[in-house]
Amino acid sequence: MKFAYKFSNLLGAVYRQGNLNFSKDGNAVISPVGNRISVFDLKNNSSETLPISTSKNISCVGVSPDGNLAVVVDEDGAALLISLITRAVLHHFHFHKPVSSIRFSPDGRRFVVTKENVALMYHAPGKHREFNAFVLDKSYYGPYDETTCIDWTDDSKCFVVGSKDMSTWVFGAERWANLIYYSLGGHKDVIVGCFFEKDSLDLYTVSQDGTLCVWESDTELDGLVLRKTRDRPEDEEEEEEETRTEGEEGEVIRGKVETPKEREKTKNVRYKQISKHFFNKEGDFNNLTAAAFHKPTHILVTGFSSGIFHLHELPEFNLIHSLSISDQRIASVAINCSGDWIGFGCSRMGQLLVWEWQSESYVFKQQGHFNNMASLAYSPDGQYIVTGGDDGKVKVWNTNSGLCFVTFTEHTSSVTNVSFTSSGFVIVSASLDGTVRAFDLHRYRNFRTFTSPRPAQFSSLAVDVSGELVSAGAQDSFEIFLWSMQTGRLLEVLGGHEGPVSSLCFSPVQSVLASASWDRTVRLWDMLDSWQVKETLPLTSDGLSVSYRPDGQELAVATLNGEISFWNPQTATQTGSVSGRHDLETGRKETDKVTAKQTAKGKSFTSLCYSADGESILAGGQSKFVCIYNVKEQMLMKKFEISCNLSFDAMEEFLDRRKMTEFGSLALVDDGAGDGDGVNISLPGVRRGDMSSRHFKPEIRVSSLRFSPTGRSWAATTTEGLLVYSLDSSLVFDPYDLDLDVTPASIRKQLRLQDWVSAIVLAFRLNENALKQEVLETVPHEQIPVVCSSIPDVYVEKVLGFVASCLEKSGHLEFYVTWAQNLLMLHGQKLKNRLDVLVLPTLQALQKSIQRHFDNLSKLCDFNMYNIRYATALFKQRGLKRPAEEDEEDEEEDDQSEETSEASLEDAEIML
């Protein structure tokens, strides 16, 4: 139970590739992030990553119309059927080829999958348990090149498929008499989107070169006639010849012999191009890359490779908006059910944006680190995580919502280390640009910049317990620099190391700084005695990471040979060591000439972190595994596999022999030249895009690890993102001052006796949320001030914390606000005197809940006020009628009421 950590959330990445989807109610975005699925709740401003993963990066996602099921397909065509309610995998399936798009029919009975040049229609899984959830209904052939997009008619009778061969194909979902399939041309580039008009067969097709074609059908959906097949012997059906009937409209009918009389009964569907429009282009490389259409409002959204998006009203092609969200290619566009919010995904930047086009404002705007994350740190209360990346950005994430709320961009090079001060309101970061910067979380600004006399690249960072001393180690000058946080002055330059300083750590109980270096030593510097070297600990290999135990009585050092050594800093003696090279189990890269076993000999742990109790240590490095070791027993307790994504390099132990040829590995062949905008060769004078970019597989690794101050979770910065593992909160039994008399029966007995204070104390001693809520909501509203004044001081903080959590979710707004007001009024002075790390998060959560309710109620009041003004203005306008007309209307209404009353009396007499 102590090490039963499970995957909790994925931070630091919001979108990688694939298509975006909105939930049924339109309040959440379903986004593929690598080989996982994240759900971003826009209403409550929170995120959740589902505890499921595919074997490779996800390429497309299809969500059922009721929002209960999702089909997730990865790059190889492996599919998972997922329940979005239980967050569980229901079925596994493999399409054996890469899938370009997937779409459920509006009635939810079928879904279409396009792979290569084929469209496959499957029966959608039902509500009952099925042996095979994916049953192939029909296969549709027509396009000569890969298919790109799908759309259904509103009644699920037909669907349309776009292709890379510049053609669009309309298929009948069943065997219709006047529509088997129909081919449309008119474009000169790849079809990006094809959309049916609402309750019609009329079509809109959009191609990559920025062309929109509007197609009108001469047949309504009601005109489709279901074909009645004649009964024939089996032998006759087998010998039935294929008949092709091609008209001017390009119709092709296969596998059915029709008589002339049958053809006359039904009129074949015909399409006519009624208009053609062109989008404004700003350059030769401004390709149209994504499109979405909202049928009820006739809004077409198109995204371009330059980061610009357009909103047009169809079929008139009226431009509503033309805005730019970034300078990178828009990979995916989605519109929610109401048509108010538009979601954009930029795969290059890792951006996910939700735009409300009517108010022209962002509903949601998140972006992960452009490159790998290098380090992380928890705030003292565990509510925030700060990360630094190779893109030079420092981001702060909320652990409850999983979202980034501030980004600092002052650094001009890679951020190598970040740290919180003990107050929790100052972030310090070190960078290769030669600066150490301090950021204020109150005003969100860079208020201190520490530099060295000579330019140096800082690779390590540490802040002492008081928050006054800031130290950074250089990797080129081998020196350690000390600054004062208050004045920003350089206090001392510590020299003595003969190699780059890889890690720094202050003792939590003494003014001692430990520094690990590549010169195979760990030096302990006394901050009180003229910054002299107190001890020098010899290592067997290059030092990579150093960490103090929370009580300051032990030191752990990770070295290049894969070992973790433990030292007593007082006596400078080694107390033990762990050999972790065999626990790393690194994989083999596709370009490696040696086996994975030989490669593992050069791997090591690069990050260490003690648990809160100091009994175990967390270690990670150049591997997909994170290990937890027991320090006393010096043995491996548990190993976590942080990723199973085969899209990363060094994941498998053995190479795939199918990729090996007589000339070497196929992985060495670079088939992904260019920047994805259709240009593969760099020409002289080209200013846009990096024409030398190539596709590559990043290697899986763990760059930094940290335990939460509460010990309930730990986080790791990896190639995949910021992974958070936590203990299952539903299994936690955390009573307070429990004895045999504290039972649910005794608590309810106190409620019946109306001894409210005793019932509250007993409920909080048992610490069950449902019981605590029952007790608080049973207390009469007028008794709340008396009860609050009688609650013991020990329980005030617990009651206040529970009230803050209930205020955020419950609908009893005034009731819980009364509780919070009385608790703060009666016990505010005592809470202020001990305003420590434990009380502060409770007050912040309370303030956040009250502010959110205040904003919602103020909007509601404003809306009601405007409605009342409108009603009064309307009443005054109607009051200007002539009195004679009003008298005539009143007489007519009186006559009608008398007639209806007499008729009702006659009906009653007949009934009697």
Which CATH number fits the domain that encloses residue 333? 2.130.10.10
In a domain, 352, yes or no: yes
- In sequence order, which residues have a C-beta less than 8 Å from that of residue 766 and are 6 or more positions away? 735, 738, 742, 743, 744, 747
In a domain, 700, yes or no: no
Residue 854: the pLDDT is 83
In a domain, 506, yes or no: no
**What is the three-class DSSP state of 644?**
coil
* Regions of the chain with pLDDT less than 50: 1, 228-258, 261-265, 284, 672-683, 687-694, 730-732, 837, 882-886, 897-898, 900-912
pTM score of the predicted model: 0.76
CA distances from 803 to 73, 141, 237, 833 (A): 43, 61, 73, 21
DSSP H or E segment with residue 540: none
Question: Which of 312, 340, 368 is where one domain is finished?
Answer: 368
Question: Which of 807, 836, 854 is where one domain is finished?
Answer: 854
Nearest-angstrom CA–CA distance, 793 and 800: 11
CB 542 within 8 A of CB 559: yes
In a domain, 825, yes or no: yes
Encoded amino acid at 408, one letter: F
Residue with tokens 């529970």: 802
Long-range contacts of 841-846 (CB under 8 A, 24+ apart): 841/381, 841/383, 842/797, 842/800, 842/801, 842/804, 844/383, 845/801, 845/804, 845/805, 845/808, 846/800, 846/803, 846/804, 846/807, 846/820
Q: Count of domains in the chain?
A: 2
In a domain, 753, yes or no: yes
**What is the three-class DSSP state of 865?**
helix
CB 453 within 8 A of CB 460: no
DSSP H or E segment with residue 410: none
User: Whole domain around residue 770: which residue ranges?
Assistant: 744-854
Which CATH number fits the domain that encloses residue 766? 1.25.40
Residue 477: the pLDDT is 87
If we measure between CA atoms, which residue out of 598, 487, 503, 493 comes closest to residue 545? Answer: 503
In a domain, 713, yes or no: no
Nearest-angstrom CA–CA distance, 270 and 249: 6
Sign of the Cα pseudo-torsion (34, 38, 40, 44, in order)? negative
Nearest-angstrom CA–CA distance, 676 and 348: 10
Residue 588: the pLDDT is 73
- Neighbour-count burial of 153, counting CB atoms closer than 10 A to its CB (0-12 exposed, 13-18 middle, 19+ buried): buried
Percent of the chain with pLDDT over 70: 83
**Chain mean position to CA 276:** 38
Question: Which of 350, 368, 386 is where one domain is finished?
Answer: 368
In a domain, 723, yes or no: no
Model pLDDT for residues 230-275, shown as the tens digit of each residue: 434 434 433 333 333 333 333 333 334 445 544 444 578 889 999 9
In a domain, 23, yes or no: yes
CB 524 within 8 A of CB 514: yes
**What is the three-class DSSP state of 831?**
helix
Encoded amino acid at 203, one letter: L
CB atoms within 10 A of CB 337: 15
Residue 690: the pLDDT is 47
Residue 838: the pLDDT is 57
